[in-house]
Amino acid sequence: MKQVLHTSRAAFHKRAKIIKIVESSEDAECSTKVRKTFVYVLSSVIGDSEKLPEPQIKIRKSFDTKTREEKFAFRIKGGIYLNHNRRLVRIDYSHTLRINLKWKTKVISPKKSVTMA
């Protein structure tokens, strides 16, 4: 069975937008939970625009053999400039993806159906 939850809200006096998507599914082999988060913060630029730093990318993966849990996390943070109505605007963003798998069976990886001869 698969469930999807989607939320969207504004924050910081409508200068930020936060979007969250949560998916949960369960089958005979494992239960899966996927969380996606998108955060955008708007700020106006006065004067000259400074050079933006490179986007930061972080990836983490862990596996616990005792509890048979597998976790994966991916995050990217950065910023862009946008010209909106003849005004320069900076948009800082953060995208996050988190996947949690809980295996129910002792065999963690599925059997290979194709063998090489």
The per-residue pLDDT for 110 is 56
Structural domain includes residue 114: no
Q: Is residue 36 part of a domain?
A: yes
Smallest Cα–Cα separation from 103: which of 46, 77, 51, 64?
Answer: 64
Q: Is residue 117 part of a domain?
A: no
What is the pTM assigned to this prediction? 0.77
**Total domain count for the chain?**
1
Phi, psi of 49 (to 5 degrees): -85, 135
Asked whether residue 92 is domain-assigned, the answer is yes
Confidence of residue 44 (pLDDT cuts 50, 70, 90): confident
Within a domain: 77: yes
Q: Which residue has the higher pLDDT, 88 or 3?
A: 88
**89, part of any domain:** yes
Would residue 112 count as lying in a domain? no
Residue 113 inside a domain? The answer is no
Mean pLDDT over 52-74 rounds to 91
Domain extent at residue 14 = 2-103
pLDDT at 39: 93
DSSP characters over 53-64: PPPEEEEEEEEE
User: Distance between CA atoms of 21 and 17, rounded to whole angstroms?
Assistant: 13
> What DSSP character marks residue 28?
S
Position 117 pLDDT exceeds 50: no
CB 68 within 8 A of CB 57: no
